[in-house]
Amino acid sequence: MLFVWREALVGLRRNLTMTLAMVITTAISLGLLGAGLLAVRTIDRTEDLYYSLIAVQVALDEPTSAEDPDCSSPVCRDLRAELEADPLVASVEYESREAAFTRFQRIYAGQSILQLVRPQSLPATLRVTMDDPLRGTEIVDRFTGRPGVRNVVDQRSTVADLFSFLGSVRNATFGLAIVQALAAVLLISNTIQLSAFTRRTEVGIMRLVGATRWYTQVPFLIEAVVTGVVGAVLATAGLVAGKVFFLDNLLSGRLLANTIPPIGMTDVLGYVGPVLVVVGAVIATATGYVTLRLYVRS
Amino acid sequence: MIRLENVSKVYATSTRPALDDVTMDVERGEFVFLIGPSGSGKSTLLRLLLREDVPSRGTVWVANWNVGRLARRRVPRLRQRMGCVFQDFRLLPNKTVAENVAFALEVIGKPRHTIRTVVPEVLDMVDLGGKADRMPSELSGGEAQRVAIARAFVNRPLVLLADEPTGNLDPETATGIMTLLERINRTGTTVLMATHDRQIVDSARRRVVELSSGRLARDDHRGVYGVAR
């Protein structure tokens, strides 16, 4: 056991430049993969965050908005009853014009838009929370144009752009990760061949004195696995650095605060890090094994 | 210990067989010279014994192993019971004398305390006890071959195969190597030595097996190199 480790370390030191190239390429590839995984995680969380908040808003027309503070008019009462009876609907809340204006004042406190808006420009609404937020369009279709309804808005469509942006980020990082992974795999394969070539005398003697495959081949596999694991550790360190120095500022800044949930340290170290180590080790081992099978006589 | 039954070996690259219907028997503890000109099949025969190659026809036995039929994963076990020495020594240049010998034990997983006791013993046996820490580049040819023999013998093989072990050495050194091989033979190890060295063969008066164009041309007990050459 000691022997194979010693041989592997000697091999890694002997081709130091190749080893470094291999580690760096692997690290970049795994780092991109990790970034993609974090993006997926963030997208899921953002969706959860938004889907609990968003609703379908059925805005009522001017007469109802102006005269009905508690949805007691026949028009409003009928609409509400129909929505509540709908199996797709979880709950319905009525927000009068006054309540809407109060909320508006709270949201835009201290901003100039407040001076321009009068209560008259805001409609009373029925806020419909869906059992399944993805089926809001069915409510929109059914209630648009009904008497007493000004318009129906599915809030999901307004956040769809955000999700598609995050989705593109994820796809781009995964795409780059695959290209980099290919480069890493080729480099690992190449280095093992080189390593096997520089050690051909040793391996020849080992075979002759009856060393098993364990002794002749495992040092090369260990070289590959060490590369994969070190690459994964560096990649994780890179992600931590990226989080601390870049993302934390970005996501807590004015633009994106409360829009995208922040990425926690446990996401990086507790989830992505271990995944990268396993992926790195598995890919490196598989590459090493296939290379030894194809190019190196056992 | 070694038995060849109607063994032929044809390489894909050649029309003429490298070995052609060879049958021979070597008893446990025998010392046998394998002679014949280059290309007569000596190296092929050694390769078949080591399972570097499998015979095209016939059966090769070493100890109780049917070598040609041996499963790949069993091959290391066969080789652990055989020692090998070559004309070009094949020492590892970056390891000391003692490390070179220890290497053969390390790679078959022998425990370290065994290696620590066995290596000095075998170096004493080949008269290199005082040079354990030298590098191969600091050795003479004869000394290098002694290290190679120590490495081949350190695991106490049943059979020692020597492929022209004196080919690179002057006659006096060659005689020393020969004496060493005979000493190893006296411990009960079967020795099969392929050689071109007429003087060595003639003075040893051991069994001589001659190959010619892949065929068994002669098998003399207490033979000489050539009758009328």
- Partner-chain contact B80 A3, CB within 8 Å: no
pLDDT, residue B229, reads 46
Domain CATH code at residue A136: 3.30.70.3040
Range of the structural domain that residue B128 is part of: 92-156
d(CA B226, CA B175): 19
Do A200 and A89 share a structural domain?
no
Q: Is A297 exposed, middle or buried (0-12, 13-18, 19+ CB in 10 A)?
A: exposed
Do A278 and A137 share a structural domain?
no
Mean pLDDT of A35-54: 79
Residue A217: closest C-alpha in chain B: B107
A212 interfaces chain B, CB cutoff of 8 Å: yes
d(CA A32, CA A178): 9
**B86 falls within a domain:** no
Residue B172 three-state SS: helix
Do B1 and B69 share a structural domain?
yes
**A275 falls within a domain:** yes
**A57 falls within a domain:** no
Contacts of B17 (CB under 8 A, 6+ apart): B8, B9, B10, B56, B214
Torsions phi, psi for B159 (to 5 deg): -130, 135
Of B72, B77, B107, the CB nearest to A206: B107
Do A134 and A277 share a structural domain?
no
Do A182 and A42 share a structural domain?
yes
d(CA B25, CA B155): 24
Do B12 and B121 share a structural domain?
no
pLDDT, residue A1, reads 64
Residue B228 banded pLDDT, cuts 50, 70, 90: very low
User: Is A207 in contact with B77 (CB distance < 8 Å)?
Assistant: no
Residue A139 has pLDDT above 90, yes or no: no
Do A287 and A179 share a structural domain?
yes
d(CA A207, CA B227): 39
Mean pLDDT of B52-69: 93
Do B146 and B177 share a structural domain?
no
The nearest CA of chain A is from the CA of B83 a distance in Å of 7
Residue A257 has pLDDT above 80, yes or no: no
Residue A216: closest C-alpha in chain B: B107
The nearest CA of chain B is from the CA of A298 a distance in Å of 10
Residue A200: closest C-alpha in chain B: B92
Which of B156, B176, B210 is the last residue in one of the domains? B156
Chain B residues lying within 8 Å of A213, measured CB to CB: 73
B92 interfaces chain A, CB cutoff of 8 Å: yes
Contacts of A7 (CB under 8 A, 6+ apart): A219
**A87 falls within a domain:** yes
pLDDT, residue A65, reads 86
d(CA B181, CA B192): 10
Domain CATH code at residue B67: 3.40.50.300
Q: Which of B83, B38, B179 is nearest to A210 (CA)?
A: B83
Do B170 and B74 share a structural domain?
yes
Do B213 and B193 share a structural domain?
yes
Per-residue pLDDT tens for B164-186? 999 989 999 999 999 999 999 99
Q: How far is CA A257 from CA A14, A107, A163, A248, A249, in A?
A: 50, 15, 16, 10, 10
Handedness of CA B70, B76, B77, B78 (dihedral sign): positive
Per-residue pLDDT tens for A45-76? 877 777 777 788 888 888 888 888 888 888 88
Which of B156, B177, B211 is the last residue in one of the domains? B156
Do B98 and B35 share a structural domain?
no
Percent of chain A clearing pLDDT 90 (strictly above): 11
- Partner-chain contact B106 A204, CB within 8 Å: no
Around Cβ A147, how many Cβ atoms within 10 Å?
9
Q: Is B59 exposed, middle or buried (0-12, 13-18, 19+ CB in 10 A)?
A: middle
Mean pLDDT check: name the lowest of A38-47, A94-103, B105-114.
Answer: A38-47
Question: Which residues of B, range 69-88, sit inside 8 Å of A by Cβ?
Answer: 72-73, 75-82, 84
Residue A297 banded pLDDT, cuts 50, 70, 90: low
DSSP code at position B20? E
**B225 falls within a domain:** yes
Per-residue pLDDT tens for B24-42? 999 999 999 999 998 899 9
The total domain count for chain B is: 2
Mean pLDDT of A277-296: 88
The nearest CA of chain A is from the CA of B41 a distance in Å of 20
Q: What is the ipTM of this complex?
A: 0.87
Which of A117, A147, A177 is the last residue in one of the domains? A147
| More confident of the two residues A245 and B121 | B121
Do B209 and B174 share a structural domain?
yes
Handedness of CA A133, A136, A139, A144 (dihedral sign): positive
Q: How far is CA B200 from CA A221, B147, B195, B218, in A?
A: 46, 20, 9, 18
Mean per-residue pLDDT of chain A: 84
d(CA B199, CA B210): 16
Of B72, B73, B79, the CB nearest to A209: B79
Around Cβ A118, how many Cβ atoms within 10 Å?
8
User: Is A236 in contact with A273 (CB distance < 8 Å)?
Assistant: yes
**A152 falls within a domain:** no
Residue A260 has pLDDT above 80, yes or no: no
Which of B126, B156, B186 is the last residue in one of the domains? B156
d(CA A130, CA B217): 97
Q: How far is CA B210 from the centre of its chain?
A: 16
Do A190 and A142 share a structural domain?
no
Do A195 and A85 share a structural domain?
no
Do A236 and A171 share a structural domain?
yes
Which of A124, A147, A170 is the last residue in one of the domains? A147
Do A262 and A138 share a structural domain?
no
Residue B115 has pLDDT above 70, yes or no: yes
> Angle CA(A292)–CA(A296)–CA(A297) in degrees, nearest 5?
120
Do B114 and B211 share a structural domain?
no
pLDDT, residue A276, reads 92
State the number of CA atoms in the 13 A half-sphere of A296 facing the CB: 29
Chain A residues lying within 8 Å of B155, measured CB to CB: 209
Q: Which of B194, B186, B198 is nearest to B223 (CA)?
A: B198
User: Is B160 in contact with B191 (CB distance < 8 Å)?
Assistant: yes
Percent of chain B clearing pLDDT 90 (strictly above): 84
Do B165 and B149 share a structural domain?
no
Do B170 and B104 share a structural domain?
no
Do A180 and A212 share a structural domain?
yes
d(CA A99, CA A118): 13
Q: What would the 3-class secondary structure string for chain A be?
A: CHHHHHHHHHHHHHCHHHHHHHHHHHHHHHHHHHHHHHHHHHHHHHHHHHHHHCCEEEEECHHHHHHCCCCCCHHHHHHHHHHHHCCCEEEEEEECHHHHHHHHHHHCCCCCHHHHCCHHHCCCEEEEEECCHHHHHHHHHHHCCCCCEEEEEEHHHHHHHHHHHHHHHHHHHHHHHHHHHHHHHHHHHHHHHHHHHHCHHHHHHHHHCCCCHHHHHHHHHHHHHHHHHHHHHHHHHHHHHHHHHHHHHHHHCCCCCCCCCCCCHHHHHHHHHHHHHHHHHHHHHHHHHHHHHHHCCC
Per-residue pLDDT tens for A86-121? 888 888 888 888 888 888 888 777 777 777 788 888
A210 interfaces chain B, CB cutoff of 8 Å: yes
| More confident of the two residues A30 and A105 | A30
**A55 falls within a domain:** no
Residue A275 has pLDDT above 70, yes or no: yes
pLDDT, residue A255, reads 61
Mean pLDDT of A215-241: 90
Reported residue count of chain A is 298
The total domain count for chain A is: 2
**A153 falls within a domain:** no
pLDDT, residue B227, reads 62
Mean pLDDT of A186-203: 84
Do B178 and B138 share a structural domain?
no
Do A289 and A217 share a structural domain?
yes
pLDDT, residue A21, reads 87
Contacts of A289 (CB under 8 A, 6+ apart): A221
Which of A100, A115, A147 is the last residue in one of the domains? A147
Do B178 and B151 share a structural domain?
no
Residue A259 has pLDDT above 70, yes or no: no
Range of the structural domain that residue A88 is part of: 62-147
Mean pLDDT of B48-77: 93
Contacts of A164 (CB under 8 A, 6+ apart): none
Do A275 and A134 share a structural domain?
no
> Angle CA(A78)–CA(A79)–CA(A85) in degrees, nearest 5?
90
- Partner-chain contact B84 A208, CB within 8 Å: yes
Question: Which residues of A, range 229-258, sit inside 8 Å of B by Cβ?
Answer: none
pLDDT, residue B116, reads 94
